[in-house]
Every structure is written in structure tokens, then in C-alpha cells.
């Protein structure tokens, strides 16, 4: 699961008194989504989010029908994992929101050969220490590809 920017949101909510009342709810939803991502497949966790808790019903928004179907099939088990004594969850309400999903992870571009050679030369010229060790780890990962 990709981490939520909860720390930034927490700072923004605390900075504005009129929004500070939303902080406990944001933290509760963050924790529910963390537990949700641990119990469903990774692809489903990327496509779905718990948007609200209405009484004992968790409202789950899914970006597509396949993810929604999977959540519905696992609803009892997911609800039991989400349920806590202070915030019981007895069932899930799943909604498909085709306009909503997490953005795709940005494509990672590998370092070109010339860049790797330059890093290798730099590593050879550095004295022993943290920077040399970091370059060695970077280059060893790239050599393995």
C-alpha cells in the first residue's frame, strides 16, 4: 500500500482551528485503510479506500467493478478485521466510483550506462565513509538488473 500523506494533512488540520475537529476522523480513516490494505490483495487495496464509517458500516469506494466484486466477496472477513471495540464494523457498503482512484506510481527510469560509469568513477575516488557505502549499495542494485 502506498502511504497516505497523513503527516502533512495532520499539520494542516492542526494549523487551522476550524478544521482541527476533522483530525480524529482522518486518523481513524487512516487506521481503517491501513488494516484494510493488510487483509485484501494489493491490487484491491490500490483500487479501493474506506471513505467513511457510518455507524457500524464502513463505506468503501472502489475504482472498478472487479475490485468492488472482490471486496463484496470478502466483506464479512474484512469487516471483522476492521472492527475494534472502540469502533465496531459490522458490514461494508461498497460503491463503485469510476472517477476515483489512486494515481499510478510514476514510472521509474533506470540510470543510463554512462551515468553508472560516472558513479563508479566517483565511488573509486571517494575516501571510505557513508557516501562511498551509499554509492556502493546503489551500484550493486543496478548491477543486479
List the domain range (segments joined by +) for residue 131. Answer: 113-143
Cell numbers standing for residue 19: 478544521
Q: Is-above-0.85 flag for pTM? A: no
Report the CATH number at residue 25.
3.30.300.180
Same-domain check for residues 24 and 88:
yes
CA-closest candidate to residue 28, choices 47, 1, 2, 10: 10
Q: What is the mean pLDDT of residues 76-84?
A: 90
Which range, of 7-21, 62-76, 83-97, averages the lowest pLDDT? 7-21
Overall number of domains in the chain: 2
Flag whether 38 is in a domain: yes
Same-domain check for residues 60 and 87:
yes
Same-domain check for residues 117 and 68:
no
pLDDT in tens, 117-144: 888 898 889 999 998 898 888 888 877 6
Same-domain check for residues 56 and 84:
yes
Same-domain check for residues 14 and 84:
yes
* Block residue for cell numbers 490500490: 46
Q: Alpha-carbon distance 23 to 141, whole Å?
A: 40
Same-domain check for residues 23 and 91:
yes
By the 10 Å C-beta count (0-12 exposed, 13-18 middle, 19+ buried), 109 is classed as exposed
Same-domain check for residues 11 and 71:
yes
Amino acid at each position: 500500500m502506498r502511504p497516505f500523506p497523513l503527516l502533512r494533512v495532520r499539520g494542516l488540520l492542526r494549523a487551522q482551528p476550524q478544521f482541527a475537529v476533522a483530525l480524529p476522523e482522518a486518523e481513524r480513516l487512516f487506521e481503517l485503510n491501513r488494516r484494510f490494505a493488510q487483509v485484501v490483495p494489493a491490487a484491491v487495496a490500490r483500487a479501493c479506500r474506506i471513505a467513511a464509517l457510518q455507524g457500524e458500516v464502513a463505506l468503501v469506494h472502489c475504482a472498478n467493478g472487479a475490485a468492488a466484486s472482490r471486496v463484496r466477496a470478502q466483506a464479512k472477513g474484512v469487516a471483522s478485521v476492521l472492527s475494534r471495540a472502540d469502533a465496531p464494523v459490522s458490514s461494508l457498503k461498497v460503491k463503485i466510483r469510476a472517477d476515483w482512484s489512486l494515481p499510478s506510481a510514476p514510472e521509474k527510469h533506470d540510470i543510463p550506462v554512462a551515468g553508472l560509469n560516472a558513479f563508479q568513477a566517483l565511488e573509486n575516488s571517494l575516501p571510505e565513509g557513508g557516501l562511498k557505502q551509499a554509492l556502493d549499495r546503489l551500484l550493486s542494485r543496478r548491477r543486479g538488473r
